[in-house]
Amino acid sequence: DIVKKGISREAAVLMPPAETRPLLTEVAKAAAAGLARRRPFKPTFPIQLRERRLGPNPASLDTPWFVERVSEVRSALDIIRGSTKD
């Protein structure tokens, strides 16, 4: 079930809280019940990290200006510290 439906970049139609609460509770219980079967994802380092985000001066919302950066990540702490190698 969907509790929120996006209708544009900055707008959405939401179900009332009284209807969403039981749905979210049910899904959360199912997710918690399945935790014992899950194993953490452990990537093999080094990996290549590719970032793509809006730049500081977009021409317009229809044609945004993107900044792209590719870095080498040697450990998970590199991402947290922001010490990736360009």
**So what's the pLDDT on residue 8?**
84
Phi, then psi, of 47 in degrees rounded to 5: -125, 165
Q: For residue 8, what are its two tokens?
A: 């544009």
Condensed to tens digits (0 to 9), the pLDDT of residues 13-45 reads 999 999 999 999 999 999 999 998 999 888 899
Q: How far is CA 81 from the centre of its chain?
A: 19
pLDDT at 67 over 90: no
CA distance 30 to 18: 20
71-83 average pLDDT score: 83
What pTM value is reported for the model? Answer: 0.45
Burial class (CB in 10 A: 0-12, 13-18, 19+), 49: middle
73 close to 49: Cβ distance less than 8 angstroms:
yes
| pLDDT of residue 53 exceeding 90 | no
